[in-house]
Structure 1
Amino acid sequence: MKLNDVVPIRVKRLPHGEGLHLPHYATDGAAGMDVLAAEDVLLQPGGRHAVATGFAMAIPEGYEIQVRPRSGLALKHGISLPNTPGTIDSDYRGELKIIMINLGDSEFAIRRGDRIAQLVLAPVVRGGWEEVLDLDDTARGEGGFGSTGGHAQL
């Protein structure tokens, strides 16, 4: 597969998604497709809601769709996705809903047709566990959180 090949994703529009654009790339260089809200929601500070998109899809086997927040909503309003990036598996056939959270200090109105998240199609590589008695040595070793230096050293 070449870099600019298009992977077909079958999509089923649901009744409450009529009249909305399907997810689409805003620019030629965009990695993520903008996805729109199919309902009106008022998110209170600290509130969460699974926002309807009005469609379901069949992602090809060997791929996933990653759901990512929009940077403008995060910076300007504190609106994000609590499980970022979210994963939509290739065998899921229900409506795509975007779990949104208001981390800001004011209520935030989501209106039908608003761009609420980005969808990134990504290949999936499956791993297989191989149990061993010992692991290779590395310079880091068992050093955990903060072991490679703090922000003051950057």
Structure 2
Amino acid sequence: MSINIINRSGHPLPAYQTAHAAGMDVYAHLPAEPVTLGPLQRALIPTGLFLEIPEGYEAQVRPRSGLAYRHGIGIVNSPGTIDADYRGELKVLLVNLSDTDFVVQDGERIAQLVVARHERVAWQAAEELSETQRGAGGYGSTGTK
């Protein structure tokens, strides 16, 4: 699949880091100065990227596991969705879930981007739903035996 992209960051395009990776790393575009995230602070980090996602697809913005593990850095609305009709700059809403400051540097890999097909649904109003073994069992109901 080929997708149009504008890169105003001067950093590499999103890229797969291994042969079987699902996500492509995305870089921070902070030419003026780094951004410091204090504990529990969040910030919208620009990437300098503008995407033309095809109709029927979305780009999912996901956290990088290394940042999460080593520094407690996540994404507030994870996964974030970039819709096919959005043409603005891709920005990543990072959050610092640790107890120490974290400095986001220009060119740092801050997120992963996964492009995925999606379906559109038409809801069908009903009075009943089909029966299943799980039924209405909610959070944690399948792992307590």
The TM-score normalised by the length of structure 2 is: 0.93
Give the match for residue 140 of structure 2: 146
Distance in 1 between residues matched to 2:136 and 2:111, nearest whole Å: 37
Give the match for residue 52 of structure 1: 46
Number of aligned residue pairs: 142
Give the match for residue 32 of structure 1: 23
Map 1:4-83 to 2 at 5 A.
7-14=1-8, 17=9, 19-39=10-30, 40-83=34-77
Deviations 1:39-96 (A, max 9, x none): 1211111000010001211111111001110001001110011111111000000000
Distance in 2 between residues matched to 1:124 and 1:113, nearest whole Å: 30
Matched, 1:97 2:88: no
RMSD, aligned CA: 1.1
Match of 2:85, as an amino acid?
Answer: D
Give the match for residue 3 of structure 1: none
Distance in 1 between residues matched to 2:19 and 2:101, nearest whole Å: 34
Deviates more, 1:102-111 or 1:125-134: 125-134
Match of 1:28, as an amino acid?
Answer: A
Structure 2: 5+ residue stretches without partners:
none
Distance in 1 between residues matched to 2:105 and 2:87, nearest whole Å: 25
Deviations 1:4-24 (A, max 9, x none): xxx11111223xx1x211111
Distance in 2 between residues matched to 1:64 and 1:57, nearest whole Å: 10
Distance in 1 between residues matched to 2:58 and 2:86, nearest whole Å: 10
Give the match for residue 112 of structure 1: 106
The TM-score normalised by the length of structure 1 is: 0.88
Superposed displacement of residue 147, structure 1: 2.4
What secondary structure is seen at the aligned counterpart in 2 of 1:74? Answer: helix
Identity, in percent, stands at 52
Give the match for residue 122 of structure 2: 128
